[in-house]
Amino acid sequence: MIAIGASTGGTEAIKDVLLGLRSDLPGIVITQHMPERFTRSFAERLDKLAAISVREATHGAPIEAGHAYIAPGHAHLSVAGEGGRFRCELGHGPAVNRHRPSVDVLFDSVARVAGSRAVGILLTGMGRDGAAGLLKMRAAGAHTIAQSEQTCVVFGMPREAINLGAAVETLDLPVIAPRIVQVVRHQIARR
């Protein structure tokens, strides 16, 4: 599984990453801080541009290879399941790090259910949402990536993750997608 989190500047960063990914990759779950009325149109726009299928996440939707699921602007997105069969869960609990959806909520769930079978990417954004969750993913054996300062619109979230020791590596935006493909291939080959 591939989990991506972003905030300020993230819509373009997510687009850049998704356009570099192929449809034979595992399912992708995304939390982008964005108002409710914009997440569906964001997913529809990306769906037209990317080789993978992109949609707004719905509660209970199975997470399938070659598909990306974007948290709706009114709900936390988390992942549930076991044995490689995962599904989207939406929750309306309180804001985490002042956000709903929260990147930490997504990353915490991916750490629990996917562990070392996951890749976590924290992209541009203000604040610290996602840093602690990325650390949990790394502790669970996932490969974790933070976007570099020079390619971020706002370096807040990746900086917090780096400071916590949550990122296995820090990469410029243009090389993140190829690195995801490389890491996933390596993970699959190890199994």
- The residues annotated as belonging to the active site are 7, 33, 129
Written as six digits, the tokens of 107 are: 């990353």
Rounded distance, CA 88 to CA 79, Å? 5
Residue 154 amino acid letter: V
| Cα–Cα distance, 131 to 162 (Å, whole number) | 8
Q: Which helix (H) or strand (E) holds 42?
A: helix 36-49
Spatial distance between the Cα atoms of 48 and 53, rounded to a whole number of angstroms:
8
Say if CB 157 and CB 130 are below 8 A apart: yes
